[in-house]
Structure 1
Amino acid sequence: MSLHELLTPPLTICNLDGGSKKRVLETASKLIAEQAQGLAAEDIFSGLIGRERLGSTGIGSGIAIPHCRLDQAQRAIGMLIKLVEPIDFDAIDNQPVDLLFVLLVPSEASDEHLQTLAMLAELFSRQEVLAALRDTSTDQQLFDTALRLAKG
């Protein structure tokens, strides 16, 4: 699944005041629930926190890809967040996180889930992508930049 199939402008947030890992995941869960019919913020948050308990989704270089599978999800949903200030995310390199891509997929979509995670990890491993995303200042600019870079 490509980024342009996952991401929408309402779920692209630039300069979110994060505060903590838990608070960012709570905020993301609420915003996704407002956009996705049939998904409750509590279920999303529970799924994301449950996955974090298995091990941090902070992949290094200031990036985290919190993700989970949900029975209620009808399709894959992505949310891109750029934080005002980096937060501790228990990342593998012990560096704080300022860019997050939240991914929700239907429970039965195991292969799609893994392929999408691999695509996201590859995209966020490119330093030019990280620099360009961090250089954005509006939601629309973050959205446009992410889609442009995902194609290149």
Structure 2
Amino acid sequence: MQIGDLLDRNAIALRVSAANKRQALAVIAEIAARNFGLDAGDVLDALTDREQAGSTGVGHGVAAPHARLEGLTRLRGVFVRLDHAVEFDSVDDQPVDLIFALFAPKESAGVEHLRALARVSRILRQSTLRQQLRQARTADAIHALLVQDPVHVVQDPVQASRPSAA
């Protein structure tokens, strides 16, 4: 599973304003609805239900909300960069400004969904990439950063020397 297989350029938004977690999730729901032919209310409900089960704030200013949805035929993603970080009940108690939401078909994609979620988490653990995503000026630039071959991603030497927790 490659990021490029699930993230379209049209599903990337930067300079997004949100006052809180719910507003950030609502923006993601609108983007998903517009790009994937879904109902924004249904998407927001699914994201909110998942967040009630436990926060998807994974640390370092990153969140990876995810949900299974009726009407999807394959895995899809939405990436949002917020203007100002919002509280997200993250594992490190840090506010979130980078959000990669993942959506899977309701009736399938169990293992594939988990693999994609693991891949997104692994990629966004790289501090150099997070910094580049925060500095990118266009959706095309963000897309290029997220879909690049992980072998060519500049590794943060501190992160690279730590054993993986995954």
Instruction: Report the TM-score range of the alignment, normalised by the length of the smaller protein.
Output: over 0.9
Distance 1:143 1:53, change over 3 A: same
Greater relative contact order: 1 or 2 (C-alpha under 8 angstroms, separation 6 or more)? 1
Corresponding position of 1:124: 124
**8 Å CA contact 1:12, 1:143 repeated in 2:** yes
Distance 1:111 1:29, change over 3 A: same
Distance 1:151 1:143, change over 3 A: farther
**Larger Cα-atom Rg:** 2
Deviates more, 1:141-150 or 1:7-16: 141-150
- TM-score, structure 1 as length reference: 0.94
Distance 1:111 1:31, change over 3 A: same
Corresponding position of 1:115: 115
SS in 2 for 1:94: coil
Corresponding position of 1:48: 47
Question: Could you report, residue by residue, the CA deviation over 1:25-73 in whole angstroms, capped at 9, with x for unpaired residues?
Answer: 1111111111112x21111111100000000000000000000111322
Letter in 1 for 2:145: T
Corresponding position of 2:26: 26
Letter in 2 for 1:147: V
**8 Å CA contact 2:13, 2:79 repeated in 1:** yes
| Cα shift at 1:123 | 0.4
Letter in 2 for 1:44: V
| Cα shift at 1:149 | 5.9
**8 Å CA contact 2:66, 2:101 repeated in 1:** yes
| Cα shift at 1:74 | 1.3
- TM-score, structure 2 as length reference: 0.86
Percent of matched pairs sharing the same residue = 30
Moved over 6 A (4+): none
Corresponding position of 1:98: 97
Question: Could you report, residue by residue, the CA deviation over 1:81-138 in whole angstroms, capped at 9, with x for unpaired residues?
Answer: 1111111001010000010001100122110111011101110111111111111122
| Cα shift at 1:148 | 2.4
SS in 2 for 1:101: strand
- CA distance, structure 1, for counterparts of residue 18 and residue 4 of structure 2: 25
Q: Which runs of 5+ in 2 are unaligned?
A: 153-166
| Cα shift at 1:4 | 0.4
Letter in 2 for 1:31: I
Letter in 1 for 2:40: A
